[in-house]
Structure 1
Amino acid sequence: MEEADYGPHTLLRDVVVEPDGAACDVRMAGGRVVAITPAGERADGAEVVHGGGGTLLPGLVDAHVHMLQWAATRRRVSLAGAGSAAEAVDRLVASLDGPPAPVARDELVFGAHFSDGLWPDRPHKDLLERALPARPVVLFSNDLHACWLSPAALALIGRDHPSGVFTETECMEITAALPAAPAEVQDRWVLEAADAAAARGVTGVIDFEYADTVADWSRRLVARLPSLRVACAVARFVLDDAIERGRRTGDVVPGSGGLLTMGPCKLFVDGSLNTRTAYCHDPYPGLGSSGQLVLPPEELVAVMRRAARHGISPAVHAIGDLATTIALDAFAEVGHGGRIEHAQLVDPGDLRRFAELGVTVGVQPAHAPDDRDVAEQYWPGRTGRAYAYASMLAADARLEIGSDAPVSPLDPWNGIAAAVARTDDDRPPWHAEQAIPLDAALAAASGGRTRVRVGDQADLVVTGCHPRDIPIQDLPEIPITATLLAGRPTYVA
């Protein structure tokens, strides 16, 4: 594998390496772990990083992020927790003239993280117009499957709409049409977001941004090395170009020093729970709809087969149980493994098929505590098989934990904690029978790695204590002592 020149060898001093639990020094060279010895090793010219007696673990891998959207959302007004459309608008208005700086009247105002599944009223462009006359406003739902625009924002992109609320494909089209910061500014935001992730022990991500991720990340490499390895997902609109260039899933992007690889091709079967567009066997109570089928089975199979024929693995977004069945049927027909992203509601008869078909399940446990109330309302009597991670593991499915940032923060410790505890507040665990052991959650958040061995890629994290030695509810705040990417320190406390 191509590796960047990271300079001199690195010596990580005084860390506890499982399973022995003894204090060790770890020497790295050429991007690999070359020796694990008792503490007290001579540096011999190596760059020294002090572990402070912390626990050495494989670096964390967030298996589902949207890096540019996450980087932008970090700068947007959060509407999380708003209990109604009116409250969301009030919160937005209150934020505009507050610290750190007022927003100019002609500046596009962005908000994020609204969840309208349980709202007593509906989002509408007129609400925004009354509160912020003639102001261009764009608000994104927490699941990224809906956006809510003011009349001025609609005019800005030459559109009109009865409510100003767009979902699914239309939402993505609107997002792409909105004015954006210059590329160099966006790149700075993304690299800063990568640094923040490294400070939480993250060494790799799969970037599912709806963009030409290879071109975007290659441009960022010119500015500086990122703090993460990036698997660059292939959006459907660039699939033909990827095939023409001979790019295959797993290939190292030339000139990236091994930091960029080709990821899978992202395809959508359905929508999401909060927008009531996740495609289900049973209809949503009171709505007369079972959700939205975004890609019909025959079209899904055709695109998957074309991608697989050229060495590009499919990654299929499926949230509802019928969508998951359709996705698994497609994998069976194509005869090629890959990924299903989310699988939030699964028919019990489908559980064994993930392993049988060689399909990895990209899951987001941090969503379960957020979604439990709306799931109880719209998936009544079925929530025992929602976010069913214990059942998936029992059926030998391979789980990989992601955040789906910006839906949840890019910090795998939130997902690890939620997978084990099945709650993130003072409420009792939600379907505790679907909790998974801590070791399984750590492996799912580390690309399947369970411990650090000589010869391993030197993508590592040192935690201030072992995760099992603190209460599960404290895992999201676990102290990080150091993070190393191919032996290069990307964060040191």
Structure 2
Amino acid sequence: MRLANALLLDGLCSLRAADGSGEVLADIDIVDGVIERVSPAGSTPSVGERDDLEGATVIPGLWDEHTHMGQWARHRTRPSVLAAASAEEAAAIAGTAARAHGARSGADGDPLVLVGMRDALWPTPPTRALLDAATGAVPTLVVSSDVHCSWPNSAMLTRLGPTLDDTLLREDAAFDTLQAIEGMLDTDALDLLVVDALAAAAERGVVGVVDLDFDDAVGAWLRPARATPTRIEVGVYQQDLELAEQRGLRTGDPIAGTARMGRLKVITDGSLGTRTAWTAHPYVGATGGGTGVRNVDDADLDRLLARAGGLGLAAAVHAIGDAAVSAAIDAFERAASAGRRTADDRIEHAQLVAEADIPRIARLGLTASVQPEHALDDRELTESLWADRSGNAFRIRSLLEAGVPVVLGSDAPVTPLDPWRAIATAVTRTRGDEEPWQREEAITIEQAIAASARTRIAAGEPADLVVLGAPLPDGDDPHVVAAALRSIAVERTLVGGEAVFDASGSRSDAAAG
């Protein structure tokens, strides 16, 4: 197969004009799912099927390097309180949803889950009485946009049985409650939702995702109903390490179909929105201090890294606050001194990073897995709760310039599974009519796409490719560039040379399952 007359993105392929002046139109020859040759258009004879792209831009296939696929698939079907400006508005939305939900299933049916709570921005905190008055006997849980806390009504507490003195469930209690609810729901229906969510992602150029779902995601991807052409890398948490050992899967090993084993995920602190990210200095502003929550101490983190290394698993350590990032680096340094040699370890989020820690990350060869949309979602919170250190937040350019490999993701369901949102924010640091935030940390479009791709357009690389329906934007106006990137049209997405999305025929049969 030949993709002919393609314009290749500068910096992500090796083809240049003979005089070195820049890109030329190219032909991409694909054999058995692999790029066999990239050559100037028309310079070699066509063999087999030829597809004339008429100068359309082609980029490598995009990955979302941090998702929770089961949660994202459910999230797409759940009511949202994201637009609520107060606890009262959120409760009113929940009340409307509860009345509709109760009429369908009754108080003993599936619990009601809403998403998108951002209580840190509300003028007054939520109360259980407020939610009870709105939702009545329907078991209801309102989950924060960062998934690190949730707001249950009394009927939900009665249904699930957690003891709660405060209004909100936080960190492990929030995760456990959401897992318990997910366990009540039909897995066949969930698998269909996951496959549909990945087909929708293919429409945005996604060829692969890292799935970090909490509850035995490896087991979920062993189910035949999860069959998808999308490449999947599946994480495992400490509670499932025994299962991982029994299965004998090492990072990179095939699980089933297109799914492969990923990394051990360790959550060492919380989130900014829940005020539980672990920081070196107290929060300022409305919280009245505190340095967040440390979920895993040094001894446990050392033990987990050693265990993962023994099982052949790379590690992905969730660290949002600067103290958590420092502790993760310290642990990786100790592990390296003890002989750990597993490649491709990551720090997930790296949202607040002290200046002195950036070269340490580079020296260890750690990858920073960053979700740029969080920068804009948390902009107000960063400027109030971390006002004295906001310059250390979301330092993507600083990380790259120090030699730290950076990969981009969404953290779906925290933000939508759409890599163009991450790319647009990384490049422009703005959306809508907002002023760009810390524009000195912006990166180029080429850098952002490279951080969202695992392959290049070159001979020997997998034919994971995206054909765009419009040229990539150019210019100095960040608002114009951001809008163009966020809305850019994808004409075709190929995984291993096979179309998993084609705009001329909507979703391909393969992508639709």
TM-score by length of 1: 0.91
Provide the C-alpha distance between the structure 2 equivalents of 1:236 and 1:94, rounded to a whole number of angstroms: 38
Provide the C-alpha distance between the structure 1 equivalents of 2:105 and 2:53, rounded to a whole number of angstroms: 46
TM-superposed CA distance for 1:105, in Å, is: 4.3
Equivalent AA in structure 2 for residue 212 of structure 1:
D
TM-superposed CA distance for 1:175, in Å, is: 1.1
Counterparts of 1:361-372 in structure 2 under 5 Å?
A: 361-372=368-379
Is residue 2:470 matched to residue 1:465? Answer: yes
For the structure 1 residues 328 and 105, does the alpha-carbon distance in structure 2 shift closer, same or farther, using more than 3 Å as the test? Answer: same
Moved more, 77-86 or 228-237: 77-86
Counterparts of 1:265-284 in structure 2 under 5 Å?
A: 265-284=264-283
Provide the C-alpha distance between the structure 2 equivalents of 1:102 and 1:13, rounded to a whole number of angstroms: 56
3-state DSSP class of the match of 1:475?
A: helix
* Counterpart position of 2:400: 393
TM-superposed CA distance for 1:104, in Å, is: 4.4
* Counterpart position of 2:354: 347
Deviation by residue 1:197-254 (Cα, 9 ceiling, x = unmatched) = 11000001111111222221121xx23641310111111111122123322112223x
3-state DSSP class of the match of 2:381?
A: helix
* Counterpart position of 1:324: 325
TM-superposed CA distance for 1:27, in Å, is: 3.0
Is residue 2:121 matched to residue 1:121? Answer: no
3-state DSSP class of the match of 1:53?
A: coil
Counterparts of 1:125-140 in structure 2 under 5 Å?
A: 125-140=128-143
Match of 1:206 among 210, 213, 238: 210
For the structure 1 residues 85 and 50, does the alpha-carbon distance in structure 2 shift closer, same or farther, using more than 3 Å as the test? Answer: farther
* Counterpart position of 2:509: none
TM-superposed CA distance for 1:15, in Å, is: 2.5
For the structure 1 residues 432 and 352, does the alpha-carbon distance in structure 2 shift closer, same or farther, using more than 3 Å as the test? Answer: same
Is residue 2:462 matched to residue 1:452? Answer: no
Unaligned ranges ≥5, structure 1: 1-9
Equivalent AA in structure 2 for residue 325 of structure 1:
S
Provide the C-alpha distance between the structure 1 equivalents of 2:127 and 2:51, rounded to a whole number of angstroms: 54
Moved more, 29-38 or 284-293: 29-38
Counterparts of 1:310-321 in structure 2 under 5 Å?
A: 310-321=311-322
User: Contact conserved, 2:428 with 2:436, CA < 8 A, in 1?
Assistant: yes
Match of 1:487 among 466, 483, 497: 497
User: Contact conserved, 1:151 with 1:160, CA < 8 A, in 2?
Assistant: no
Equivalent AA in structure 2 for residue 318 of structure 1:
A
Equivalent AA in structure 2 for residue 394 of structure 1:
E
Provide the C-alpha distance between the structure 2 equivalents of 1:81 and 1:360, rounded to a whole number of angstroms: 34
Equivalent AA in structure 2 for residue 462 of structure 1:
V
Provide the C-alpha distance between the structure 1 equivalents of 2:53 and 2:225, rounded to a whole number of angstroms: 29
* Counterpart position of 1:405: 412
User: Contact conserved, 2:348 with 2:368, CA < 8 A, in 1?
Assistant: yes
Equivalent AA in structure 2 for residue 172 of structure 1:
F
Equivalent AA in structure 2 for residue 459 of structure 1:
D
TM-superposed CA distance for 1:43, in Å, is: 7.6
User: Contact conserved, 1:324 with 1:343, CA < 8 A, in 2?
Assistant: yes
* Counterpart position of 2:440: 433
TM-superposed CA distance for 1:165, in Å, is: 1.7
TM-superposed CA distance for 1:150, in Å, is: 1.1
* Counterpart position of 1:176: 179
Provide the C-alpha distance between the structure 2 equivalents of 1:225 and 1:50, rounded to a whole number of angstroms: 31
- Percent identity reads 36
Counterparts of 1:201-350 in structure 2 under 5 Å?
A: 201-219=205-223, 222-223=224-225, 225-253=227-255, 255-256=256-257, 259-285=258-284, 286-335=287-336, 336=340, 338-350=345-357
User: Contact conserved, 1:129 with 1:135, CA < 8 A, in 2?
Assistant: no
User: Contact conserved, 1:191 with 1:227, CA < 8 A, in 2?
Assistant: no
3-state DSSP class of the match of 2:499?
A: strand
Counterparts of 1:411-422 in structure 2 under 5 Å?
A: 411-422=418-429
User: Contact conserved, 2:94 with 2:135, CA < 8 A, in 1?
Assistant: no
Moved more, 195-204 or 235-244: 235-244
TM-superposed CA distance for 1:157, in Å, is: 1.5
User: Contact conserved, 1:154 with 1:164, CA < 8 A, in 2?
Assistant: no
Equivalent AA in structure 2 for residue 478 of structure 1:
I
User: Contact conserved, 1:147 with 1:167, CA < 8 A, in 2?
Assistant: yes
* Counterpart position of 1:187: 191
Equivalent AA in structure 2 for residue 411 of structure 1:
D
For the structure 1 residues 43 and 199, does the alpha-carbon distance in structure 2 shift closer, same or farther, using more than 3 Å as the test? Answer: farther
Equivalent AA in structure 1 for residue 468 of structure 2:
T
* Counterpart position of 1:7: none
Provide the C-alpha distance between the structure 2 equivalents of 1:51 and 1:408, rounded to a whole number of angstroms: 32
3-state DSSP class of the match of 2:236?
A: strand
User: Contact conserved, 1:78 with 1:112, CA < 8 A, in 2?
Assistant: yes
TM-superposed CA distance for 1:311, in Å, is: 1.4
Equivalent AA in structure 2 for residue 130 of structure 1:
A
Counterparts of 1:42-191 in structure 2 under 5 Å?
A: 46=49, 51=53, 53-95=55-97, 103-106=104-107, 107=109, 108-178=111-181, 180-191=184-195
The count of corresponding residues between Structure 1 and Structure 2 is 475
